[in-house]
Amino acid sequence: MSVAPPRPKGPPLNAMRAFEAAARHCSFVAAGEELNVTPGAVSQHVKTLETWSGVSLFQRNAQGVELTAAGRSLLKDFSDAFDAIAVATHSLRNLSPDADVHIAALPSIAQLWLPTRLGKIRGHFPDLNFSVTALETPPSLTRDLFDLSVFFGVPDDSLNQIVLAPDEVFPVCSPKLAKQIAKGQKLDSFALLHDQTWHDDWATWSKNSGIPLEDPESGPRYSLYSLAVEEAKAGAGILLGHTCLLEEALAAGTLVPVFDKSYSSGRSLILSLPHASRRRAEINDIGKLLQL
């Protein structure tokens, strides 16, 4: 009963954040990606929180984690809390007068679609700094601090989304290869170039077009679409082109369509705006400029 034990410290906020992300994804790896740390760090955070509270939050299985009943019951409160944190964070960031405009985009979009538009936009807003972050998966615009995001996806009814263009898909290759195909050579005899992230593109194209392919999964894979584009330009094989990503190459004639017809991938190029943003006016103007 001795007096003046140290006032108990507050809860470990970073551990709570890690738990919230892990619980939402039901995966330490995914949580680590979201938070930009290694899965080990998430693991430690979760353990910290479990120790601190004395409650077991996850059941560790060999092929993934599973929330315990206790953990499941907490997810809503934790998500609400970090939503509130995100609101506060946005309020804070929106006060900053001279911060960059942060754009998130798929790597391929950032490399092949954005630059030309951004050049134009820079002309309209010479005082603004732009920073572009390439992300494999679209960020949560409520949680993360981006002012714009450009990704492929299926538009939903939510506001703050602008459909920029449908995603049209068609085979392309270097002019030299195109001539050989025009002479009757089969598609199969060339290498099919793949992007890591869209590995089933050729299979769906084959189904849509009715043109059979012996093995739509064969051929070199590239981690970045732009690498595949360069290879295609060099004549390494045939690439499935996405309209909006090849504007430049098609205009320059370094790549040509193999056939006339293109097919929709079912997705669209979508521009998303956060619900509330600083520089509302500018961001909206930028959005309009991107639509052209």
Distances (CA, A) of 258 to 27, 61, 186, 251, 287: 42, 49, 11, 15, 33
User: For its own copies, what does the binding mask look like between residues 178 and 217, x meaning CB under 8 A?
Assistant: ----------------------------------------
Q: Which is nearer to its own copies, 81 or 213 (CB)?
A: 81
Burial class for 165, CB neighbours closer than 10 Å (0-12, 13-18, 19+): middle
Q: Which amino acid is at 41?
A: A
Residue 163 found at the interface with its own copies (CB under 8 A): no
Element at 287 (helix H, strand E)? helix 280-291
Distance CA 190, CA 235 (A): 10
Contacts of DNA in 25-44 (CB under 7 A): 27-29, 32, 35-41, 43-44
Which one of DNA, its own copies, none is in contact with 159 (Cβ closer than 5 to 8 A by kind)? none
User: For its own copies, what does the binding mask look like between residues 24 and 63, x meaning CB under 8 A?
Assistant: -----------xx------------x---xxx--------
Whats the size of the chain, residue-wise? 292
Q: Which amino acid is at 60?
A: R
Distance CA 103, CA 164 (A): 15
Distance CA 146, CA 133 (A): 9
Residue 21 found at the interface with DNA (CB under 7 A): no
The SS3 call for residue 37 is coil
Give contact residues for DNA (rule: CB under 7 A): 12, 14-15, 18, 27-29, 32, 35-41, 43-48, 58, 60-65
Give contact residues for its own copies (rule: CB under 8 A): 1, 3-11, 13-14, 16-17, 35-36, 49, 53-55, 70, 73-74, 77-78, 80-81, 83-85, 87-89, 91-93, 95-99, 102, 107, 110-111, 114-115, 118, 131-135, 144-145, 224, 226
